[in-house]
Amino acid sequence: MERFNNKKILICLTLVIPFFFGGFISNETMMPAFRMKKIVLDAGHGGVDPGNIGSKAREKDINLAVTLLVGKYIKENMPDVQVIYTRDDDSFPTLKERPNIANVNKADLFVSIHSNSATNKSAFGTETFVMGTKYLDANFDIVKKENSVILLEENYEENYEGFDPTSPESYMMFNLMSKAHFENSVTLADQIESQFRDRVGRKSRGVKQGPFYVLWTPSMPSVLVELGFLSNTEEERFLMSQEGKEYMASAIYRSIKDYKDQIEAN
Ligand SMILES: [Zn+2]
């Protein structure tokens, strides 16, 4: 009798367990998978703000041309992704408006595109930043320069609540973004720098952290790309050429595509 009961329990368990776990599995597969649907592309500077200036090139023009090409490649090859530009002409959206466009549109990714400059004319290479305050001392010059754009805006004191881009103390208010957004930002930044290095043959200066205003407020993974140094004759020439712009834009496009495939597979 006892043996029969045990057998009965065993049979019941054998029948019930697959349903139990099967239930979990089917619930899981029913959850909508993440799809990257919207991306905001931000061409740095514009209008009254030329950004860095080389011997001939103006940063705002290089940034816009490369940004529009990235958008074109995405539209042509990733029809399920909507591209939103913070500017598609020589206008001057404020540093506050740029990430806000991404937040209002509930974008899945924010990519800001810039070109670098240094007093040392031999400096060259690409770098991609994610939001963070690690090694701020080392990167303070570039962070200060990019954030100082707000000084050109009207009423910046009111709009940025006393934030002074030139004072290191001001950066105490910059909190880190969520861990997931930070990790995804680093994943994309790594892809971009690898593409620049391996596919375009540029010198990659690596993935870095900086408290850039445009990376602080978007509530989605976000990166800031520095395409190269306009203060370096060779690099300025490369970035001014149509071929150079196309190479850099297709590298960023491929990185975004790989990033999308990677996070959607997870
Ligand atoms: Zn810039």
**2.60.40.10, 3.20.20.120, 3.40.630.20, 3.40.630.40: CATH of 33-265:** 3.40.630.40
In angstroms, what is the span from residue 265 Cα to ligand 1's centroid?
33
pLDDT score at 10: 55
The pair of structure tokens assigned to 147 is 């954030």
pLDDT of residue 218: 80
What confidence score (pLDDT) does residue 26 get?
A: 44
Q: How far is the CA of 171 from the centre of ligand 1 (A)?
A: 18
Tens digit of each residue's pLDDT, the chain (266 residues): 455 566 665 555 555 554 444 444 444 456 678 899 999 999 999 999 999 999 999 999 999 999 999 999 999 999 999 999 999 999 999 999 999 999 999 999 999 999 999 999 999 999 999 998 777 788 888 888 888 888 888 888 888 877 888 888 787 777 666 788 999 999 999 999 999 999 999 999 999 998 898 888 788 999 999 999 999 999 999 999 999 999 999 999 999 999 999 999 98
Q: Which residues of 115-128 are buried (b: 16+ CB within 10 A; e: fewer)?
A: bbbeeeeebbbbbb
Tell me the pTM.
0.84
pLDDT at site 168: 80
Q: How far is the CA of 215 from the centre of ligand 1 (A)?
A: 13
Q: Cα(124) to centroid of ligand 1, in Å? A: 15
Strand partners, 85: 41
